[in-house]
Structure 1
Amino acid sequence: MFLRNNSSVIRTQREFRRRFPQHSTIRRFATRLEATGSTLDRPKSGRPRTGRSAENIDAVRKDVEECPETSTRRRATQLGISRRTLQRILVKDLKMFPYKTQMTHQLLPADHRARLDYCQRVINLNLEEDDFPSKLVMKTPLHPLKVTVWCGICVDRVIGPYFFEDAGGNAITVNGERYRTMLREFLIPSLDELGLEHIWFQQDGATAHTARDTMDLVRDAFPGRVISRFGDLPWPARSPDLTSPDFFLWGFLKSRVYVNKPQTLAALKENIRQEITNISQEVLRQVMQNVINRAQMCINSGGHHLKDIIFKS
């Protein structure tokens, strides 16, 4: 404290009183110093305890099996362990990932048939084409408070991020022209550079994505392999539970990029880039395989939303 306060005794005293307002703190320090010659805590005896004990791992496993939809924050409180320990157990010990619950409009009666048709086509493609998940790029834009960012997710990498911004670096909304610019100047060259051929491209039904000029560009870039409204494989409306950016990527990023409370737009962008880089190929392959698994789950549910969806009117 003394050094941090530029060797000012007065400011050091004030800071000490703010941090340690009770006299018992000083008494504990003095007693410990007299007994041990140090103000540090005595080394604890016995075997060091770890949050990732066999008991905790087993408790987490059973709790997830009973209530898979519980948030990590609430689950940690209920189990009496820290949220960080819980996340480590889920990922490192149980090989699980805490997906983010998504909100969407409730499905209309006609949506069930559309979802069933889409999911059955996906299942058929997975049977007909060798390693179909590796030929699939799924996308959607993210709109946090200060940035509008696009990413495409495929089996071994995240393509992006691409930030929609003006010349001054300020976030802008996505319209048809800006979306087509991103496709021409970023996505298509990126796929060519990576040598990704025969890719199926998925996009949702936003107007910017399905305008005539946009669809002409997308069909030319991905002939016969467009998953979209008006595409070769029609994308069902109100289905974020079936697209990997919605059921995985955006929740994953949002849980991490704000941890260190970035104070500038540049810091937020750097956090997004860094966290995307940190996602392993193993995780991405599991996520894209989950696209197929979710299609089958949707069929089994008769076209209804999966359990990680909650509705908004």
Structure 2
Amino acid sequence: MRLQDLANDDPDFLKKLIMSDEAHFHLDGFINKQNCRIWGTENPRIIQQHTLHPLKCTVWCGVTAEEIIDPYFFEDDAGNQVTVTGDRYREMLQNLLQPGVAAKPDRMWFQEDGATAHTARDTLTLLQGIFGNQIISRSCEIQWPPRSPDLTAPDFFLWGYLKEKVYANKPNNIEELKANIEAEIRPISP
């Protein structure tokens, strides 16, 4: 695999890699278990009830071998959760990620999945300005494998860990939920 070759060619590759992703955190603690299926010869007649439009926040994080880049919450000026669009994703890249990467002595690599906001032409142009050709994503020289869940640190570790922790004190509102997310990220060590 190309990633293994990069890691073999550069012993510091994993220290230069930013794995990124977004996740939804629902105030009611609902966790989307889309991969959970019940197989059987009879209909188990299970009914799952949940709020049609639950309060939630959408958070982005970048994970490197040495740190977790501060969470970014996709929200409007009033603090309400908004959909991740190409414009909003680029705004996050410019305001949060680009200044931090510019301060690094070595050129970093950036990995993202194939979400539409991530692979829009304007987004990839911005990313190439920040990372050059050191991007792992759909429509890039090094493509992220399609339908490859749980291959990144956010998917494999971070989101599950946070969802286990942030609901422990049963937050009453989105601000408390966001504060819990930020508080639980800080102590995570490399």
In structure 1, how many angstroms separate the alpha carbons of the residues matched to 2:5 and 2:130?
23
SS in 2 for 1:151: strand
- 1:135 and 2:16 correspond: yes
SS in 2 for 1:149: strand
In structure 2, how many angstroms separate the alpha carbons of the residues matched to 1:259 and 1:209?
32
Alignment of 1:190-229 (within 5 A): 190-193=100-103, 195=104, 197-229=106-138
- Quick check: which has more Rg, 1 or 2? 1
Distance 1:196 1:253, change over 3 A: farther
TM-score normalised by structure 1 residue count:
0.50
In structure 2, how many angstroms separate the alpha carbons of the residues matched to 1:202 and 1:235?
8
SS in 2 for 1:148: strand
Counterpart in the other structure of 2:33: none
Counterpart in the other structure of 2:99: 189
Shift of 1:231: 1.3
Counterpart in the other structure of 1:14: none
Higher helix share: 1
| Consecutive aligned runs of 4 or more in structure 1 exceeding 4 Å deviation | none
Counterpart in the other structure of 2:68: 158
TM-score normalised by structure 2 residue count:
0.82
In structure 2, how many angstroms separate the alpha carbons of the residues matched to 1:227 and 1:201?
6
Shift of 1:208: 0.6
Higher strand share: 2
Shift of 1:266: 1.3
Q: State the number of aligned residues.
A: 161
Shift of 1:121: 0.7
- 1:231 and 2:140 correspond: yes
In structure 1, how many angstroms separate the alpha carbons of the residues matched to 2:106 and 2:88?
24
In structure 2, how many angstroms separate the alpha carbons of the residues matched to 1:258 and 1:241?
22
Shift of 1:196: 5.3
Counterpart in the other structure of 2:182: 273
Match for 2:92: what amino acid? M
In structure 2, how many angstroms separate the alpha carbons of the residues matched to 1:229 and 1:142?
19
- 1:167 and 2:77 correspond: yes
CA RMSD of aligned residues (A): 1.1
Alignment of 1:1-313 (within 5 A): 120-145=1-26, 146-193=56-103, 195=104, 197-281=106-190
| Aligned residues with identical type, % of pairs | 51
**Structure 2 gap segments, 5+ residues each:** 27-55
**Structure 1 gap segments, 5+ residues each:** 1-119, 282-313
In structure 2, how many angstroms separate the alpha carbons of the residues matched to 1:250 and 1:266?
18
User: 1:30-78 CA deviation, whole Å, 9 max, x = no partner?
Assistant: xxxxxxxxxxxxxxxxxxxxxxxxxxxxxxxxxxxxxxxxxxxxxxxxx
User: 1:140-191 CA deviation, whole Å, 9 max, x = no partner?
Assistant: 1011221011000001110020011011101101000000000011111122
Shift of 1:245: 0.6
